[in-house]
Structure 1
Amino acid sequence: MNSTIKTLTVAAALAGAVGMASTLVPSDAAAADKVKCFGIAKAGQNDCANKAGTHSCAGQSTVDYDGGEWKLATAAECKDMGGQEAAFDGVNKKLSG
């Protein structure tokens, strides 16, 4: 490989890496504005472990809008959907009903 092609290849790789890194910043900033909102996840759409400790992974909830299951949402979205920032017993009546 001649030096010009090698230089262009390295420059392109660096430009791609910088471009990808800059797209991650808004996601990280948006995630920082979110809270764990209990009672808004449909079955199989929770973000992580539940309060009861019966599973430890995303996507393992079995009941729609269970008060022990959570998804990330802004505080305003959580409130609008009838969710809570702390786990609760039962299901979210606003969404289930």
Structure 2
Amino acid sequence: MNTRISAALAAALITTLSAGVATAQAAKPMEKCFGVSLAGKNDCKAGAGTSCAGTSKVSYQKNAWKLVPAGTCTKIKTPKGPGSLTES
């Protein structure tokens, strides 16, 4: 019986810790990063002729953006150069 209680407590602890990590990750500030999304994987705005999320026609489109953790955009390397905080 003690083994079952211990296992249940361990499972509850792991679930609680996992939820705390997910909450901490969700609370991180995000920023728009232009030119880093793959074709069809942008979060929004992909230029003329597109409506919004998932509509970019080419990878690394300079006017399509993806939300990334704040402070990481310009560190993202692509075949067309680093990400940008402004549309180009």
TM-score higher than 0.5 here? yes
Determine helix, strand or coil for the equivalent of 1:76. Answer: coil
The share of aligned pairs that are identical, in percent, is 35
Runs of 4+, deviation exceeding 4 Å: 22-25
Which amino acid is 1:69 matched to?
A
Matched residues, number: 65
Q: Distance in 1 between matches of 2:54 and 2:30?
A: 19
Query: With structure 1 as the length reference, what TM-score do the two structures score?
Result: 0.55
- The structure with the greater share of residues assigned to helix is 1
- Equivalent residue in structure 2 for 1:46, among 9, 33, 42: 42
Aligned partner letter, 1:87:
E
The structure in which a higher percent of residues are strand is 2
Taking structure 2 as the reference length, what is the TM-score of the superposition? 0.60
Task: Please tell me whether Structure 1 or Structure 2 has the larger radius of gyration of its CA atoms.
Answer: 1
List runs of 5+ in structure 1 lacking aligned partners: 1-18, 89-97
Distance in 1 of aligned mates of 2:26 and 2:55: 24
Equivalent of residue 60 in structure 1, options 40, 48, 55? 55
